[in-house]
Chains A and B, each alone.
Chain A
Amino acid sequence: MTEVTEPLVELRQVSLAYGRGPEAMLALADATLSIAKGEFIAVVGPSGCGKSTLMKLVTGLLPPTSGEVRVHGQKVTKPIRGVGMAFQNPTLMPWRTTMDNILLPLEVVEPYKRDFKARRAEYVARVEALLKSVGLGGFGDKFPWQLSGGMQQRSNLCRALVHEPEILMLDEPFGALDAFTREDLWGVMQKLWLDRKFTAVLVTHDLREAVYLADTIYVMSKRPGRVLVRREIDLPRPRTLESTFDPKFVDIVHELRDVIRREYAI
């Protein structure tokens, strides 16, 4: 992302403390970053560095203790609209089929909600197309617990994207999968992003995953989390598993690994 555009999401000196008074614990300190429209950013750092907190702040699920979060230039005070979220735990509802799970955002989000009943057939077709694009064509009538972990996570991505959100939040979505499935899903994720060009925030502790997917990587410090390094990744797209063995790719991973090692060396 080289063109200069007004940032879609801006964090200005945002900090967040959990709890109150003397027991308050600072999870995030002075985080400042901005995300351009259509940019794919990754936030990396080991557990407990406030990565997930950062994500909740951007979506307005948590109000910051100080500083401000702006989306579209508007200060965020409550959960913002037009966000898709996917967590490490797929959180699909076991009483709904995969199809009905993915339809859920359309039942809740305006303007889809308004004529959900009338346009159901159209929405079902849309979900089917989406399922097909992640390699799950024909699995709509299966229940989530009949799917493998990787398939559940694919469905989870579909649910996060079906209402065409402007911003997609990914909180270690591939963290619980085996290495092969994970690498497979990086490709799926990249394809979805290249096709739709949403803005994405990926929280992860996997450096290769971050370098594979992101345009810009932010490395977080130990708690309380600050942004240590901002690194733009200018590797050509689409990136493939082959490119993860490319010396340039490997160099970036090493460089980031070094930053983290220095920060976390005791």
Chain B
Amino acid sequence: MTDNQRHYLKIAMPWLVMAVLLLIWEVACIVFDVPEIILPRPTRIFEVFIARFDILLRFCLETFWTTAAGFALAIVFGLLLGLAIGASPFVYSGLYPLMIGFNAIPKVAIVPILMIWLGVGAAPAIITAFVISFFPIVVNVATGLATIEPEMRDVMRSLGATQYEILTKVGIPRAMPYLFASLKVAITLAFIGSVISETVGGNRGIGFLMLSAGARNDTATTFAGLFAIAIMGVLMYAVCAWVEQRMTKWAFRGEVAV
């Protein structure tokens, strides 16, 4: 195999694996004569996907907006809290144990509470997406700040730099690769958060669509929704990965990223 062929094969690999898996699925459904209500064939799901594309798109967009809003909140507050925790040992020792405790709570458990407070609609989904995706951002930003080389700090201090200057000139640039690495994780979590909220109780979004299709025994539509979520998740991840590459080129340097 030439280098060129290897290169293209590497790019094609995920598609090939997916095609093989779908094929096995399709064949298994036919061979074992699985009823559609249990497990629809991939071709059938694809058919429904195309036929109901406009509905799927509408519900997906709703989910997308709540996810994006929750994610944006998570970036803003995660960054601020991460900077505070990373910069001050007092804030760290005060908040970190609390945050770990909070993170351990399954987020499904708070959706009903959010509904009591905020009613049904976009708000609970946004908040759920926010609380679930907020934690990795805080932890990563704080880690980036807390792991500044002591010598780098000494150089700045011996120049007479203020704490603020050390933060803006060393801390924040150094925390950026950590922030962008966390965004890839956080965006997928935000998706999980908003779909959970829509599924537990909601009247909008792809989670709600899947739930109501399931209730009507329309398994094909439920699966079409599942695929739609997966596609959105991959796309959002790709956007975050692209932004990461663009913003923190120096952290990659052609070697293993930190």
- B158 within 8 Å of A by Cβ? yes
- In the complex, the answer to whether B250 meets A108 with C-beta atoms within 8 Å is no
- In the complex, the answer to whether B149 meets A91 with C-beta atoms within 8 Å is yes
- B105 within 8 Å of A by Cβ? no
- B94 within 8 Å of A by Cβ? no
- A83 within 8 Å of B by Cβ? yes
- B35 within 8 Å of A by Cβ? no
- In the complex, the answer to whether B170 meets A163 with C-beta atoms within 8 Å is no
- In the complex, the answer to whether B250 meets A143 with C-beta atoms within 8 Å is yes
- A95 within 8 Å of B by Cβ? yes
* Residues of B197-235 contacting chain A, CB below 8 A: none
- B119 within 8 Å of A by Cβ? no
Residues of chain B lying within 8 A (CB to CB) of residue A61: 154, 157-158
Residues of chain A lying within 8 A (CB to CB) of residue B170: 93
- B21 within 8 Å of A by Cβ? no
Q: In whole angstroms, what is the CA distance A143 to B254 when docked?
A: 13
- A56 within 8 Å of B by Cβ? yes
- In the complex, the answer to whether A85 meets B253 with C-beta atoms within 8 Å is no
* Contact pattern, A 59-81, Cβ under 8 Å of B = 1, otherwise 0: 10100000000000000000111
Q: In whole angstroms, what is the CA distance A81 to B157 when docked?
A: 9
- A107 within 8 Å of B by Cβ? yes
- B156 within 8 Å of A by Cβ? yes
Residues of chain A lying within 8 A (CB to CB) of residue B251: 94-95
* Residues of A84-111 contacting chain B, CB below 8 A: 84-85, 87, 89, 91, 93-96, 104-105, 107-110
Q: In whole angstroms, what is the CA distance A93 to B248 when docked?
A: 13
Among B173, B250, B253, chain A packs the most CB atoms within 10 A around the CB of: B250
- In the complex, the answer to whether B151 meets A91 with C-beta atoms within 8 Å is yes
Among A87, A91, A105, chain B packs the most CB atoms within 10 A around the CB of: A91
- In the complex, the answer to whether A93 meets B154 with C-beta atoms within 8 Å is no
Q: In whole angstroms, what is the CA distance A109 to B169 when docked?
A: 13
Shortest Cβ distance from A83 into B: residue: B158
- B152 within 8 Å of A by Cβ? yes
- A203 within 8 Å of B by Cβ? no
Partner of A108, one of B169, B176, B248: B169
A108-B152 contact in complex given A93-B173, A94-B251, A143-B250, C-beta closer than 8 Å: no
* Contact pattern, B 150-176, Cβ under 8 Å of A = 1, otherwise 0: 011011111111000100011001101
* Residues of A134-186 contacting chain B, CB below 8 A: 143, 145, 159, 163, 169
Q: List 7 A-B contacts (CB under 8 A).
A: A56-B154, A84-B158, A89-B151, A104-B159, A108-B156, A108-B165, A109-B159
Extra inter-chain contacts (12) besides given A84-B158, A93-B174, A108-B156, CB under 8 Å: A79-B160, A83-B159, A85-B154, A87-B151, A91-B155, A93-B173, A94-B250, A95-B250, A95-B251, A104-B159, A108-B161, A110-B160
B-contacting residues of A (Cβ < 8 Å)?
A: 56, 59, 61, 79-81, 83-85, 87, 89, 91, 93-96, 104-105, 107-110, 143, 145, 159, 163, 169
